[in-house]
Homo-oligomer: A and B are copies of this chain.
């Protein structure tokens, strides 16, 4: 067996050299491996209904209503309790989703192709602000917006992308990091770069000028438009780094609103989980940490791939949203160099003299130094359907890294 360091070098090189191209938008049932009509994908590690938090339950109910599998909340809950609905992590199906991450068969997903290693990854369409499924809302207007996104916007984006060679999301991210984004909570520049690629294609592909105009407004006004393709790109990078024998690199970090889970490149598909924590941050007017759900979402795939809070030094303006000072943002990145295996070859930070972002979390360094990864995140209300109540910073529980390191010692007989 190669040394741990050699294995880690292989893993992190695979992560950095992955080059995910956004190819199209397609119906999840047609492209996501293993997806079927009674299977609901969710964020984070595996979880069943009894332990699901409010926002995840709300999103599951919303998906069953959206799919027409249930006609109201009561029937949806009854179906779930009767065992007629199956659940699985998005991560088990090459998919990632922000917050609740709920993805069902009729929803459209972004399809990304890692042209370096040949693997694919998927993510649903971003709903923008207000009452949205990803925060557990399922009111009629939430479902109406989902219907417009999936029946009007999605097909137009597919037609538009068919006129192009696809969009290189790694290149887009590299540019966005030079424009004040960190790629997780701040995707303002990335979303505009995304719009820049799509706008001429949409104008050309459109069958209806009103739909084209509405789609371009929706994409442009939503500073998170590109978050989902970015997450899928990071998933493609992380999956490329997974399964390297002997590697201690973290290839998944994800939360389901109850548990925070990680997976490790050299430890197969096993999850290491512990209770998710409530983020520290800035709350919207009228809300406080008493309203907050524990940490939720697959969006920690960004930090897993070396952006998000790891690239916060690139995004000083983010502190107006997640709290802290520009100096704190700088320090967040500097601290993450302590627990990572490399400096990114493609993602650089102008304010640090174009130093590469810290990439490839090493569970050994996390446990030895007592430094857990930093994560930027949105904060969900703990009750289904209320929505976002703030944004802030959180760290995974140390326990998951300790468990992983123990498991590593057992598996590799150290």
Contacts and interface: CB of A to CB of B under 8 A. Distances in A.
A196 B204 contact: no
Contact of A180 (B179, B210, B325, B326): B179
Interface magnitude class on chain A: 35 or more
A321 to B, nearest CB: 11
Interface string A90-111: 0000000000000000000000
A131 B168 CA distance: 28
Interface string A344-372: 00000011011000000000000000000
A327 B354 CA distance: 12
B210 A204 contact: yes
A199 interface: yes
B206 A220 contact: no
Contacts of A201: 213
Given A202-B203, A203-B216, A212-B203, A351 B353 contact: no
Contacts of A181: 179
Question: Which label, helix, strand, loop or mixed, suits the secondary structure of the A interface?
Answer: helix
Contact of A179 (B189, B203, B210): B189
A213 B212 CA distance: 11
A380 to B, nearest CB: 26
A85 interface: no
Contacts of A214: 200
A161 interface: no
A213 B206 CA distance: 10
